[in-house]
Amino acid sequence: MIAQPADQYQDIRDAVRALCAQFPDDYHRRVDEQRAYPEEFVDALTRAGWMAALIPEEYGGSGLGLAEASVIMEEINRSGGNSGACHGQMYNMNTLVRHGSEEQRRTYLPKIASGELRLQSMAVTEPTTGTDTTQLRTTAVRKGDRYVINGQKVWISRVQHSDLMILLARTTPLSEVRKKSEGLSIFLVDVKQAVKGGMTVRPIPNMVNHETNELFFDNLELPADSLIGEEGKGFKYILTGLNAERTLIAAECIGDGYWFIDRVTKYTSERTVFGRPIGQNQGVQFPIAESFIEIEAANLMRWEACRLYDARQDCGAQANMAKYLAAKASWEAANACLQFHGGFGFAAEYDVERKFRETRLYQVAPISTNLILSYVAEHVLGLPRSF
């Protein structure tokens, strides 16, 4: 492993590394081959309390910040695992902690902290409107003490491994709101009840072992107290989750990036062709060094995003920029790692092709690189709006 100076999170790093060491490469490879869910790994993380990092102590969690949560996710990916199986619980948590009612917090947080319940899913994306979130068509109509949900979602992850899901739906028609981001609301959905009452879940086979689904809502009735926060303000609330998600995924990409650098430096130091280690050639060294520099730089932006988020300051720009830089850096490290493993990079037993697929996702999800560029151009630099 590349030597790095200890930081203030070294205790967390050491503890998560020790847990991850019980789940070596062949465990994650087998889970990937079987397209299975890493149940034992997520259970171990839960039992050790890591999945409750962001839950305040008064509700049974450890009351840590996003910075610490990001270290947990980074270390999972750096160990060769894939936080994608469980990161939802981290980024969804603050949506409930910060915007949920006291009753919702008391009802759910202790059970999530103990592992009795999982909050791994967030349903935002829709098939017909994609990234244009404010145009989403799923509706929630208030009828007495219930909301009736109709519509469709796509790419909704970990639904089969979650008890609770945060759902974004329109409660006031677009034609009746001043700003298109108004009139959207978020709900805490009991997944098992929903499946009995009008939600259909259809898995989408995909390039990575990432359990994700289409969801169909046909007159699903939710109790009115499933609403999180005030009706119509859901878009603002969901941004709490989205900024946390982008920052955590930046940390995961940084973990991936270090994993690729560890593997490729070791391999190219040992693999001898033309009578010398391939890593002695500058054509091999430079792409590795370049991606390492970019990972280090992305890491600085990740800490800045964490700092602002934990101080409850606006971190939209930093969260997006951290995710952009980290996803790009890990992808470049992945390319170098695959390239310099030659043919062996394609062999499943080296794990490079698996991690290569896993890290590629983050150029597209949870927000594509183009949309980050557009956000920075228009919201940070004030250029004319393109949509």
Cα separation, 293 vs 258, whole angstroms? 11
What's the closest the beta carbon of residue 386 comes to ligand FAD, in angstroms? 6
Q: Does 238 interact with ligand FAD (rule: CB under 6 A)?
A: no
- With respect to ligand FAD, which residue has the nearer C-beta, 124 or 169? 124
Q: Does residue 57 contact residue 63 with C-beta atoms inside 8 Å?
A: yes
Binding residues for ligand FAD, how many (CB under 6 A)? 23
Q: Does 376 interact with ligand FAD (rule: CB under 6 A)?
A: no
Q: Does residue 38 contact residue 51 with C-beta atoms inside 8 Å?
A: no
- With respect to ligand FAD, which residue has the nearer C-beta, 228 or 278? 228
- With respect to ligand FAD, which residue has the nearer C-beta, 72 or 361? 361
Residue of 60, 63, 130, 287 interacting with ligand FAD (CB under 6 A) = 130
What's the closest the beta carbon of residue 369 comes to ligand FAD, in angstroms? 7
Cα separation, 130 vs 126, whole angstroms? 5
Compose the 353-372 pattern: x for residues touching ligand FAD by CB under 6 A, - for all others.
--------x--xxxxx-xx-
Q: Are strands 272-273 and 276-277 parallel, antiparallel or unpaired?
A: antiparallel
Cα separation, 59 vs 127, whole angstroms? 37
- With respect to ligand FAD, which residue has the nearer C-beta, 131 or 219? 131
Cα separation, 83 vs 74, whole angstroms? 8
Q: Does 374 interact with ligand FAD (rule: CB under 6 A)?
A: yes
Q: Does 319 interact with ligand FAD (rule: CB under 6 A)?
A: no
What's the closest the beta carbon of residue 46 comes to ligand FAD, in angstroms? 19
Q: Does 135 interact with ligand FAD (rule: CB under 6 A)?
A: no
Q: Does 243 interact with ligand FAD (rule: CB under 6 A)?
A: no
- With respect to ligand FAD, which residue has the nearer C-beta, 142 or 180? 180
- With respect to ligand FAD, which residue has the nearer C-beta, 271 or 360? 360
What's the closest the beta carbon of residue 108 comes to ligand FAD, in angstroms? 19
Residue of 46, 104, 212, 359 interacting with ligand FAD (CB under 6 A) = 212
What residues from 4 to 23 belong to the interface with ligand FAD (CB under 6 A)?
none
What residues from 142 to 161 belong to the interface with ligand FAD (CB under 6 A)?
155-157
Task: Give the binding site for ligand FAD (CB under 6 A).
Answer: 122-125, 130-131, 155-157, 206, 210, 212, 361, 364-368, 370-371, 374, 386-387
